[in-house]
Amino acid sequence: MTVVKEHVAAIFEMDAHASLFTVQAFAAGMIAVVAHSPKFAIRDFEGEISFDPENMGACGVKLVFNVGSLELMDDVKMSERREIDRVMFDEVLERSRYPRIEYRSSRVSSTKMTENAYKVNVAGELSLHGVTQGVGLDTQISVGEDSIRAQGTFSIRQSEFGLKLASVAGGSITVRDELKCAYFIIGRRKA
C-alpha cells in the first residue's frame, strides 16, 4: 500500500507595520512637467497568503485595505496636503461610501527560482469603489520557515473602477487614468 503524503499550504498573516504598499498617481495636462505626481502609502491592511510550492492549487492571497489609511508620502505644504486629502477621500475614493478595498486570488502559478524563491503569477479580483475587476499580479516570493516576503508592481486604470480623475488648483492640475501600485509585503506564519 502506498501512502500519499498530503501537502498543506502554510498560512502567513500580513504584517502591515513591516510591509509597504504604495499607490502612485501621475500628473497630466499642460503643466504635467512641473506638477506634483502624488504617492500614497496604505498604512492599514490585513490579509493572508497561503503557500505550498508542491500544490499551487492550495495557494492564495486575500487582502483588505482600509481606504481611510491612505497617507500622502510626499513633502508638501500643509494646505496642499489638506486639499489633496479632501479630493482623494471625498471626491475620488468616496471613503464614506466605500471604506474598503479588497483583493482575492482565483488562481496561482509559480516557477521556482532558487531553493526558497519563486516567481509567482496570481490571477484575482480587485474590488474598489463598488466595482470588481480582474487584476493579475506578477510577484517574487521568498519563503522562510516562519515568514514570507512578496514584492511586485501592477497598474490599474481609475476609469475601470468608476473613479473620478482627480483635479486640483481649479482644474489646472489633473491626474492620468493610470495608477501604479507597488508592494513589499511581509507575512508571519500562523501558529
pTM over 0.85? The answer is yes
Q: What is the pLDDT of residue 33?
A: 43
Confidence check: pLDDT of 6 > 70: no
> What average pLDDT does this structure show over 164-178?
74
pLDDT band with cut points at 50, 70 and 90 for residue 172: low
- Choose the CATH number for 10-189 among 3.10.580.10, 2.40.128.110, 3.40.1160.10, 3.90.1150.10: 2.40.128.110
CA distances from 177 to 9, 165, 183 (A): 37, 7, 20
Q: What is the pLDDT of residue 36?
A: 66
Confidence check: pLDDT of 148 > 90: yes
Cell numbers describing residue 20: 509597504
Q: What is the pLDDT of residue 67?
A: 95
Q: What is the pLDDT of residue 1?
A: 56
Please give the backbone phi and psi of residue 84, each rounded to the nearest 5 degrees, phi first: -65, -45
The neighbour count for residue 27, using CB atoms within 10 Å, is: 18
Paired strand residues for 64: 46, 102
Q: Which of helix, strand or coil describes residue 116? A: coil
Q: What is the pLDDT of residue 32?
A: 44
Confidence check: pLDDT of 179 > 50: yes
Residue 117 makes CB contacts below 8 A (sequence gap 6+) with: 140, 141, 142, 143
**Measured on CA atoms in the order 113, 118, 123, 125, is the torsion positive or negative?**
negative
Higher pLDDT, 103 or 170: 103
pLDDT in tens, 119-132: 999 999 999 999 99
Domain edges within the chain: 10-189
> What average pLDDT does this structure show over 147-166?
94
Confidence check: pLDDT of 2 > 80: no
